[in-house]
Structure 1
């Protein structure tokens, strides 16, 4: 399986994240990628390529133009206002406030376009986000050309990014871009399966009313886990998309038995729906020792999960999402890919 990876991910490295009432080194950091790359090479999966330049057309199809302009210019505006540090949201529109009026001051814009203040923007964030999307697009191109599967080693990740908001370490929704490109290349029905511990709220947001993309997410129950305000089981889609949004929220301490049962149910529904192509939001933070999650999967469970996914026999693009137990992130990620290849 070919991996697409860009060195430009290093351009995004915020020096602080607000967690537990204090500033800490971000859990989403460049070293995550190094552990994955090292493990790929250890296991002989050394077909690793740089992506082609990003294609903005499918990104513009999905995302709000004002939001894209904000991401591109935010750092320059921030510095022009004399701000000394990294961009962190300090003001957000709350209940009873205007959601239809965008501030002109950069501090206000940041709050308008952000849904989680743990996510900072730096001088290199926009370039890194574009390189991450480029990896996803190149993986899609490889599969569209006839490969069974490809792995986009995306950083920053993407599944929390909506059409017009960033957060959860995400800026451009890479999995959504791949799904749109599958559609543009002729796939009638595309499924996105999100196995990251955290609900893919951004992906749900982008496809909630569409009947050509099915979204299924296995995640921590939103009353207990980020992103808190989305991901309940009764969120099933609206309009043409009714019934095509599948949420599997699970409580603290969930082990592989219950998690795998949810995975099998999602796989069964994707298969019954007749998907032509598959996108996997590959987060491995369901791991038992992940510092910001509460499921109890072991490393071997990720191999088994990969086998289950592989049995669908669909053209598949894997997009890297979360996983913050740094020393295990490479093992768990590659285990999924090796399990998939076993079929």
Structure 2
């Protein structure tokens, strides 16, 4: 299985986030990728660079004005004499207007972000665009005949909606891959999100569409980030009615309950008749993850990969979360083993 990776991910580094009332170094750090790379190299996986794509390729799922904001935000920040992490200080919440994008960079940041945990630093755009190119390359490898391809994406993407960033995510890699597969001729595509946190951005992008099925297993939004999306009664709308499946699970969920929910999702994808599959591969369901609360062990990721691979669909896997850095390589390699 081909692995697509860009060293430009390391340009996104040194940011801080607001975590439970404290400014702390971002949990989403470059060393996550270093551990995954070492595990893949030990398995002799072929690792290549992403292809070049124009910025317009992002407009297949993202609003052009939003993309332009991300591309220019840090330069505008510097023009105001600022440095370090860009974090918003206000959001267009209930009772405030949402139809105007403020001209100033501080207001625009709050308009486009949905949390204060997703810093923009000097290299964020370069890394995010490279991450998106990894996902697009993996999708095109699959469209060209590969059974599976893995995009080692960093920053991750599944929290980014069409014109919103947050949750460490700026551009939605999984959604870009799914749309690329559609554009390459796959009539029905499914996205399976197995990250601990709900892929609110992916759901939002495809919520009113019937050609892309979205299934997600995640910590219940009653207690878990991102809190305001991912409930079981969200099933899609319009042409997308019934093409969204949310399986929220309580804190402490162990393998037996998780596997049962995974099988529900896989059966739904099979019934949908997906011609291709995109997996948002978060491994923050691991028992020692510092910001998540499931109880899966490293051996369970091997079984997880086997169950997903048993669908026998052309598959793109895009890296999402996983913050137990010492274990992330083994956990990712466990899922990928079934596709090797």
Q: TM-score by structure 1 length?
A: 0.97
Shift of 1:53: 1.2
> 1:303-314 counterparts in 2 under 5 A?
303-314=302-313
**Structure 2 counterpart SS, 1:27:** coil
Per-residue deviation, residues 115-141 of structure 1 (Å, max 9, x unmatched): 111110011111111100111111111
Alpha carbons 1:197, 1:293 under 8 Å: kept: yes
Correspondence for 2:190: 191
Correspondence for 1:279: 278
> 1:1-343 counterparts in 2 under 5 A?
1-45=1-45, 47-341=46-340
Shift of 1:149: 0.2
Cα distance in 2 for residues equivalent to 1:151 and 1:173: 15
Alpha carbons 1:64, 1:163 under 8 Å: kept: yes
Cα distance in 2 for residues equivalent to 1:257 and 1:223: 22
Q: TM-score by structure 2 length?
A: 0.98
Cα distance in 2 for residues equivalent to 1:260 and 1:119: 31
Cα distance in 1 for residues equivalent to 2:225 and 2:73: 25
Cα distance in 2 for residues equivalent to 1:33 and 1:135: 13
Alpha carbons 1:58, 1:180 under 8 Å: kept: no
Per-residue deviation, residues 220-268 of structure 1 (Å, max 9, x unmatched): 0001100000000000000010000000000011001111111101100
Cα distance in 2 for residues equivalent to 1:137 and 1:61: 11
Shift of 1:144: 1.1
Which blocks of at least 5 consecutive residues in structure 2 are unaligned?
none
Q: After superposing the two structures, state which structure 1 stretch, 257-266 or 52-61, moved more.
A: 52-61
Cα distance in 2 for residues equivalent to 1:128 and 1:20: 26
Alpha carbons 1:309, 1:340 under 8 Å: kept: no
Shift of 1:20: 2.3
| Runs of 4 or more consecutive aligned structure 1 residues displaced over 6 Å after TM superposition | none
**RMSD, matched Cα:** 0.9
Shift of 1:330: 0.5
Alpha carbons 1:14, 1:121 under 8 Å: kept: no
Alpha carbons 2:15, 2:120 under 8 Å: kept: no
Q: After superposing the two structures, state which structure 1 stretch, 6-15 or 32-41, moved more.
A: 6-15
Cα distance in 1 for residues equivalent to 2:41 and 2:204: 36
Shift of 1:15: 3.1
Shift of 1:97: 0.3
Shift of 1:62: 1.3
Alpha carbons 1:139, 1:150 under 8 Å: kept: yes
Q: After superposing the two structures, state which structure 1 stretch, 303-312 or 331-340, moved more.
A: 331-340
Alpha carbons 1:157, 1:170 under 8 Å: kept: yes
